[in-house]
Amino acid sequence: MVTVLLTGGAGFIGSHVAEHILRGTDWRLVFLDRLDCSGNLGRIAEIKGWDTYRTRCRWVWHDLKAPISSQLAGQIGPVDYVLHLAAGTHVDRSITDPMSFVYDNVVGTGNLLEYARQKVPGRFVYFSTDEVFGPAPAGVAYKEWDRYKSANPYAATKAGAEELCVAYANTYRLPVLVTHCMNVFGERQHPEKFIPGTIAKVSRGEKVTIHANRDRTKAGSRFYIHARNVADALLFVIDKGEPGEKYNIVGEREVDNLELAQLIAEYQGKPLRYEMVDFHSSRPGHDLRYALDGSKLAAMGWRPPVSFEDSLKRVVTWTLENPRWLIP
């Protein structure tokens, strides 16, 4: 039976990846997590069927800023694959405290790569971000190996960790695969994020802030994708991907934040009160538009299993039925 080491499994995306693996395969999971401000075991406990799945799971507490010792490796046990999702991800915090992101994202990834090249015979998937490429001008969608232009320390540390992965693939022949993902949403997401925050504000009749250009005429846009589709893509990459390669995981269409807020209000049957705000030109490190080219995975046969609209409807309904996840 396959055993996967999943870092950051108590995080938002990690918990959905765990759920997808547990419900769709017979694999075992070893969760490696430090359970800080972004980790929440409640996400795992709410996986449907968890009481049955838990027999296939083990937890190991560790902060990847420290190397994985031989004793800790013994606690982890034999592993076939590594899915490395643990990371510092908050752009604002990376601007105020950049060195913590260097330690978490670059040093932490280096420590995990060192462990993997000695202990793990199978594939190592590094989960990166569209932000390594920086803002995308209108009409531009970045391919996997395009140049990087990080706009903030968070993005730079993710790019640095990617380069470590490439180096380990080239130097040690470690079977590394890198994915870039765009903005992810779904159930159990922290309310500081745009979609759950907008759901909450619309439900309370509050004004929603829409990040826009300098003239406040064009809202920022993303290719939003549900976490369940991301999890499906990661398993596809493990199965079909080529070691040493990079893969973009992209939603099926671009959506600007005003349209997104209008859909959220429509699904609630409530009016949208909003204000366009020149956020990106006045604050460093934040970009109006990100865009990735998803044709590489598409040519290999992967498509998002659930559409954006269906995913968003489900998330709005689920969030309103589970308001405890809207508590900051």
Lowest mean pLDDT among 86-100, 146-160, 169-183, 271-285: 271-285
Other CB atoms within 10 Å distance of the CB of residue 32: 28
Give me the DSSP letters along 123-186.
Answer: -EEEEEEGGGG----TT--B-TTSPP--SSHHHHHHHHHHHHHHHHHHHH---EEEEEE--EE-
Residue 292's closest CA among 148, 123, 161?
148
Domain total of the chain: 2
What is the pTM (predicted TM-score) of this model? 0.95
120 CB contacts (<8 Å, ≥6 apart)? 5, 79, 80, 81, 82
Active-site residue (options: 81, 142, 154, 168): 154
Does residue 125 or residue 281 have the better pLDDT? 125
Evaluate whether residue 297 is within a structural domain: no
Evaluate whether residue 295 is within a structural domain: no
Report the CATH number at residue 144: 3.40.50.720
Q: Are residues 51 and 149 in the same domain?
A: yes
Q: Treating both helix axes as pointing N-terminal to C-terminal, what angle do 194-204 and 308-321 enclose, rounded to 10 degrees?
A: 60
Evaluate whether residue 99 is within a structural domain: yes
Q: Are residues 199 and 179 in the same domain?
A: no
Residue 14's closest CA among 36, 37, 39?
39
SS3 249: strand
pLDDT at res. 45: 93
Residue with tokens 């005429």: 217
Dump pLDDT digits (tens) for 38-93: 778 889 999 999 999 999 999 999 999 999 999 999 999 999 999 999 999 888 89
Report the CATH number at residue 212: 3.90.25.10
Evaluate whether residue 39 is within a structural domain: yes
- The residue type found at 157 is T
189 CB contacts (<8 Å, ≥6 apart)? 12, 195, 196, 227, 325
Instruction: Check if the beta carbon of residue 172 is closer than 8 Å to that of residue 324.
Output: no
Active-site residue (options: 19, 33, 104, 130): 130
Q: Are residues 228 and 283 in the same domain?
A: no
Would the pLDDT of 101 be above 90? yes
Residue 192 known to be catalytic: no
Evaluate whether residue 18 is within a structural domain: yes
Q: For residues 221 and 211, give the distance between their C-alpha atoms in angstroms, rounded to a whole number.
A: 9
Evaluate whether residue 201 is within a structural domain: yes
- 66 lies in which domain range? 3-184+223-249
Q: List phi, psi (to 5°) of 240.
A: -110, -15
Active-site residue (options: 131, 144, 187, 254): 131
Q: Are residues 63 and 140 in the same domain?
A: yes
Instruction: Check if the beta carbon of residue 153 is closer than 8 Å to that of residue 95.
Output: yes
Residue 154 known to be catalytic: yes
Dump pLDDT digits (tens) for 239-292: 999 999 999 999 999 999 999 999 999 999 999 999 999 865 555 656 789 999
Continuous segment of H or E residues that includes residue 270: none
Would the pLDDT of 102 be above 60? yes
Provide mean pLDDT across the span 212-227. Answer: 91
pLDDT at res. 142: 98
Mean pLDDT of the chain: 95
Provide mean pLDDT across the span 149-160. Answer: 96
Residue 266 known to be catalytic: no
Classify strands 28-33 and 3-7 as parallel, antiparallel or unpaired: parallel
Provide mean pLDDT across the span 212-232. Answer: 93
DSSP 256: E
Q: For residues 205 and 138, give the distance between their C-alpha atoms in angstroms, rounded to a whole number.
A: 33
Evaluate whether residue 272 is within a structural domain: yes
Evaluate whether residue 134 is within a structural domain: yes
Count how many residues are written for the chain: 328
Q: Are residues 67 and 93 in the same domain?
A: yes
Instruction: Check if the beta carbon of residue 146 is closer than 8 Å to that of residue 41.
Output: no
Q: For residues 44 and 169, give the distance between their C-alpha atoms in angstroms, rounded to a whole number.
A: 32
188 CB contacts (<8 Å, ≥6 apart)? 12, 15, 16, 40, 42, 43, 46, 325
Residue 228's closest CA among 249, 247, 256?
249
